[in-house]
Amino acid sequence: MGYDFDLVVIGAGSGGTRASRIAAGLGARVAVVEESRLGGTCVNLGCIPKKLLVYASHYGHDFEDALAFGWDVGPRRFDWKRLIANKDVEIARLNGVYARLLDEAGVTRIEGRARLVDPHTVAVGERRIRADHVLIATGSRPSLPATPGIEHAISSDEAFRLDALPERVVVVGGGYIAVEFASIFRGMGAAVTQLYRGDLFLRGFDDDVRTTLADEMRKRGIDLRFRSDVVRIERRPVGLRIALADGSALAADAILYATGRRPNTRDIGLEAVGVRLGTGGEILVNEYSGTNVPSVWAIGDVTNRISLTPVALHEGACFARTVFGGAPTKPDHRDVPTAVFSTPSIGSVGLSEREARTTHGAVRIFRARFRPLRHTLTGRDEQVLAKLVVEAAGDRVVGAHMVGPEAGEIIQGIAIAVKCGVTKAQLDSTLGIHPTTAEEFVTLRAPVAD
């Protein structure tokens, strides 16, 4: 029996769309199935709308700082409904962009929920589609614990659709989504408490980054409570009551759980076809994104490798070149740069100091903390962290980390150098652009005491 398509992609998020377009460009007959809006988590409930809310949250401080620079700012009021309406218009525009890109690439778009029937057949409602290859790119979803009263909490998905800005918000979690939403709600004027059951949030990031961000968030009035856990949530006549493990309680108008995400692998036929899953529900893949079923592949968050949009895009491109381009290509997951759009933001690439000491043994650490030029006039007590981790034996920069305004923009450039194997001597020979925060990375001279 012949195939209807060379490739059927389940999920039209960032990775699935990239794989579809490249495969089609390489001559494959491609269909993509999507049950919701095009663009996946990133466009609809992740990176893009979140960054728009981050921008909105900065204006409160910007208006205050304007006074120091000679600007008189009159009465102001934040309108949550207007922000969300404008955000929705932009997301709808991006949905249309994704549709146009797929159409222009010659990809067939199919709306509905897809399920694998056998290794080469995908069911969408009553329709059966046969394909030589099937790519799973269904992403992930927020995962909430079985805490009593959890039905009264929201996830990041619902946070984008709130009818009004809550006056009191409790954020539960210690990952990047938790610190970002804590910063967003605080910047918009809400009273924010963030709870995390560990000793310090952002596990896996450099320890100096973690402690610096905690200090800066507290300066902005966020009540950070580590070694704290929720045991029960109750609906009250006005707001919510959150009972904590230490016997204390909090009152809030909204409680947002950002305690992890789970791969979207339920009820899409994977078990029936025999695709192996990990303990967290993730699809297990080899270094080329292939599963144990030869015709079934998987990329992006559903594989639980590195859950970042650019990684999914990269994996999608590598898959298409491997299967349809005649050029087997392994995704490269080393030195992946990342940003956390907290306030202040984080930019990071390469190894943390702790990881570098484990991997390379002897390292040299270069670190600077300083008040940015802008706040010499505003008087704000805000510190920027710039840090380099250098392999002592070869002088190679194996990690670069920053906490401060536009950290992601700055580290993106540094990431190119790190990926190319830059040495500390080469950074030292590079002239800085003055006065900028970024120049600190080429003016760090004396290593800190070991």
Residue 165 · residue 328 · CB < 8 Å: no
Residue 31 · residue 129 · CB < 8 Å: yes
Q: Which among 120, 152, 314, 434 is annotated as catalytic?
A: 434
The two three-digit tokens of residue 163, written as one number: 């009818």
The two three-digit tokens of residue 326, written as one number: 């005649």
Give the residue carrying structure tokens 């898959």.
319
CA distance 173 to 400: 25
Give which of 339, 300, 345 is closest to 318, Cα–Cα.
Answer: 300
CA distance 23 to 20: 5
Asked if 375 is an active-site residue, the reply is no
Strands 127-136 and 5-10: parallel
Give the residue carrying structure tokens 């040299």.
364
Give me the DSSP letters along 352-394: -HHHHHHHHSSEEEEEEEE--TTHHHH-----EEEEEEEETTT
Taking CA 65 as the corner, what is the angle to CA 64 and CA 71, rounded to the nearest 5 degrees? Answer: 90
CA 282 to chain centre: 18
Residue 433 gets the label, from left (phi > 0), alpha (psi -120 to 50) or beta, of beta
CA distance 96 to 110: 15
Residue 202 · residue 340 · CB < 8 Å: yes
For 17, 166, 181, 189, 344, the CA distances from 61, given in Å and listed in that order, are 38, 19, 17, 10, 12
Give the residue carrying structure tokens 């900065």.
58
State yes or no: cis peptide before 263, omega within 30 of 0.
Answer: no
Strands 397-403 and 384-391: antiparallel
Strands 114-118 and 230-235: unpaired
246: exposed, middle or buried (Cβ count in 10 Å: 0-12, 13-18, 19+): exposed
Residue 39 gets the label, from left (phi > 0), alpha (psi -120 to 50) or beta, of left
Residue 352 · residue 399 · CB < 8 Å: yes
- How many residues are given for the chain? 450
Task: Report the catalytic residues.
Answer: 434
